[in-house]
Amino acid sequence: MRRWIVALGLLVEFVVPSHAQETDSAADRGRRAMTETGFLKPAWSDAAFLRAGSLWKEGAPDPEEDRADYTRAFTHRYGLHPAPFENDGLPMGLKRGVLADGTKRGIQIDCLVCHGGSIGGTSYVGLGNTQLNLKALLNELTLADRRALPPSTFVLNSSRGTVNAGMVAAVLLSVRNTDLSFRYFPLPMGTNLPEMDVPPWWHMARKATMYYDGRTDARSVRSSMQFLLGEKTLEQFKDLEPTFRDILAYFKSLKPPPYPFAVDRARAERGRVVFKENCARCHGTYGPDGVYPNKIVELDVIGTDPARAHGLGLPLVKHYNATWFGEDYPVNEKMTGYQAPPLDGIWATAPYLHNGSVPTLAALLDSSQRPTRFKRPPSTGFEHYDTVNVGWKHEVVPEGPLPSSTTPFEASFIFDSSRFGLGNQGHTFGDALSDEERAAVIEYLKTL
Ligand code: HEC
Ligand code: HEC
């Protein structure tokens, strides 16, 4: 009898809570909070969204005549992606603003403007946005609202896809005192960060430390809330912390999409062996018993562009650590280099390295193949995907001035590795491999 009860108990445990989890787990609450909630007041009027098209030299569909067509054009223009959830008709990354009484008015950007991407026509929450032109989006919404542009004190993005999220956070924090009250004169932060590629959120399940330099404990809920520093008070941050704890649980539940094309299994198996010998000590092992070593590699060993690692100033770190943000998990004051990231879903996150300076895995593993300047694809559709080199098909742009016929819109697709922080050097661990070994490793990487 007892056995039966135990067996029944196990059965009930197996059936019921897994269903209950589906409807009300922390991850599920986090998903709803991330996709259904607007956290910020409106920054622009609803009309700004509809008027932005009137600023495009190339012309825009008439939003009054065909709203869907206009929204599609807007989405493509600024490098956004359709929302894979109900979003009041807005592309992913924009949200209706929320007033103090909870009513929705106007529009705002949210985390997904950078952390929402698409590949092969499917949008994913948590896939870094490699098409985004954030500067054009913010400026043109502001101009469409007939307001003057605020002065810019740093390069937000010199082209599409990379974005200077670090400087946004640094500037927002510089106008807060230690108790997070607002101050008029910014504190000196000694910080000069470059633009970066946006990491996928599905890495968070594996990481013990986060961000490219691995100086923040990945259990820090508060660090993910920095983006709200534009308006929230300390009390509001405290009230929102449980919500962001759920959001962190949601990040940890995310899985990368599987590689959608054919894989040569025999070659991938040969690649696994090469990977184990040459790469696993930093990037770990994969599959059910996979172990991620969470290794932060010294700058002189990794050799990639040092600007991000050096750019985070000690005054900023100390100030952050003195506020509520750094109270539970302070940022490590010591800079080492860059964290070797997990490679799960690596096929979907080209271009590579923390600054997105290398368009394909083939070029990452053979540093002689890296273009100084390249043109990103016009979309993340599979017609632009390169299954041999793995990553984006790209046009190499010769050095020297661009042809005078190049419009600013076209120029926005050009990635220039000679700019500050965007260097494509370093990580030469694939150079010594033979062509066949490299091809085998690439085949193996498709399976992660
Ligand atoms: C302007 C673009 C942008 C916005 C908006 C943004 N992020 Fe990020 N996020 C980034 C970039 C770039 C990085 C990498 C930063 C670094 O390591 O220096 C990052 C890193 C992260 C990481 C660490 C990932 C890892 O693997 O280490 C988390 C978690 C995260 N962001 C959460 C959020 C949340 C939550 C929001 C909204 C409240 C948000 N981000 C808003 C661009 C953005
Ligand atoms: C000594 C440690 C180390 C070794 C060995 C190493 N890597 Fe890396 N790898 C890193 C670090 C650190 C980064 C991040 C560098 C950066 O972004 O600046 C990185 C980045 C990468 C990336 C880009 C990740 C992304 O999301 O953009 C890929 C892909 C990669 N490595 C694959 C490999 C392969 C394949 C090998 C073996 C041939 C290898 N690595 C060997 C440390 C290492």
What ranges do the domains of the chain cover? Answer: 1-30, 37-151
Count Cβ neighbours within 10 Å for each residue of 134-173 and write b for 16 or more, e otherwise. Answer: bbbbbbbbbbbbeeeeeeeeebbbbbbbbbbbbbbbbbbb
> In terms of Cα–Cα distance, which of 314, 395, 326, 390 is closest to 352?
390
Nearest-angstrom CA–CA distance, 234 and 374 = 44
385's enclosing H/E stretch is strand 385-386
Nearest atom, ligand 1, residue 213 CA: 17
Q: What does the pLDDT read at residue 3? A: 43
Nearest atom, ligand 1, residue 200 CA: 26
Identify the bridge partners of residue 386 per DSSP, sorted by sequence position.
391
| DSSP letter (8 states) at residue 384 | G
Give the pLDDT mean for 333-358. Answer: 98
Q: What does the pLDDT read at residue 149? A: 94
DSSP string, 223-272: GGGGGGGGT--HHHHHHHHHHHHHHHHHHHH--PPPP-S---HHHHHHHH
Lowest average pLDDT, out of 149-158, 278-287, 293-302, goes to 149-158
Residue 150 has pLDDT above 80, yes or no: yes
Residue 37 has pLDDT above 90, yes or no: no
Nearest atom, ligand 2, residue 351 CA: 27
Check pocket membership of 167 for ligand 1, CB cut-off 6 A. no
User: What mean pLDDT is reported for the chain?
Assistant: 93
* First vs last C-alpha separation in the chain: 46
Q: Percent helix, strand and coil across the chain, each rounded to 5?
A: 40, 10, 50
Residues 6+ away with beta carbon under 8 Å from 361: 346, 347, 350, 352, 389, 390, 391, 442, 445
Model confidence, pTM: 0.93
Query: pLDDT above 70 covers what percent of the chain?
Result: 95
CA trace torsion 236, 218, 298, 279 (10° rounding): -140
Q: How many angstroms separate the alpha carbon of residue 205 from the centre of ligand 1? A: 15
Residue 268 has pLDDT above 60, yes or no: yes
Q: What does the pLDDT read at residue 22? A: 52
Residue nearest ligand 1's atom 6 by CA = 111
Nearest atom, ligand 2, residue 355 CA: 17
Q: How many CB atoms lie within 10 A of CB 431?
A: 11
Give the pLDDT mean for 107-118. Answer: 97
Residue 385 has pLDDT above 70, yes or no: yes
* Higher per-residue pLDDT: 151 or 324: 324
Q: What does the pLDDT read at residue 5? A: 38
Check pocket membership of 421 for ligand 2, CB cut-off 6 A. no
Distance of CA 274 to the CA centre of its chain: 29
Check pocket membership of 282 for ligand 2, CB cut-off 6 A. yes
Check pocket membership of 331 for ligand 1, CB cut-off 6 A. no
Place 399 in a pLDDT band, splitting at 50, 70 and 90.
confident
Lowest average pLDDT, out of 38-47, 253-262, 381-390, goes to 38-47
Q: How many angstroms separate the alpha carbon of residue 128 from the centre of ligand 1? A: 9
Each residue of 224-251: pLDDT tens digit? Answer: 999 999 999 999 999 999 999 999 999 9
Residue nearest ligand 1's atom 36 by CA = 111
Check pocket membership of 374 for ligand 1, CB cut-off 6 A. no
Q: Looking at the CA of 40, name the nearest ligand.
A: 1
Give the pLDDT mean for 109-132. Answer: 98
Residue 353 has pLDDT above 90, yes or no: yes
Place 23 in a pLDDT band, splitting at 50, 70 and 90.
low
Q: What does the pLDDT read at residue 101? A: 87
Each residue of 74-107: pLDDT tens digit? Answer: 999 999 999 999 999 999 999 998 888 888 899 9
**For the chain, what is the radius of gyration of the CA atoms?**
23
Give the pLDDT mean for 202-230. Answer: 97
Query: pLDDT above 90 covers what percent of the chain?
Result: 89
Phi, psi of 175 (to 5 degrees): -105, 20
Nearest-angstrom CA–CA distance, 230 and 236 = 12
Contact 118, 76 (CB under 8 A): no
Check pocket membership of 439 for ligand 2, CB cut-off 6 A. no
- Residues making up the chain, counted from first to last: 448
Say which amino acid occupies 243. T
Check pocket membership of 113 for ligand 1, CB cut-off 6 A. yes
Check pocket membership of 34 for ligand 2, CB cut-off 6 A. no
Check pocket membership of 338 for ligand 2, CB cut-off 6 A. yes
Place 151 in a pLDDT band, splitting at 50, 70 and 90.
confident
Residue 156 has pLDDT above 50, yes or no: yes
Contact 209, 217 (CB under 8 A): yes
Q: How many angstroms separate the alpha carbon of residue 401 from the centre of ligand 1? A: 33
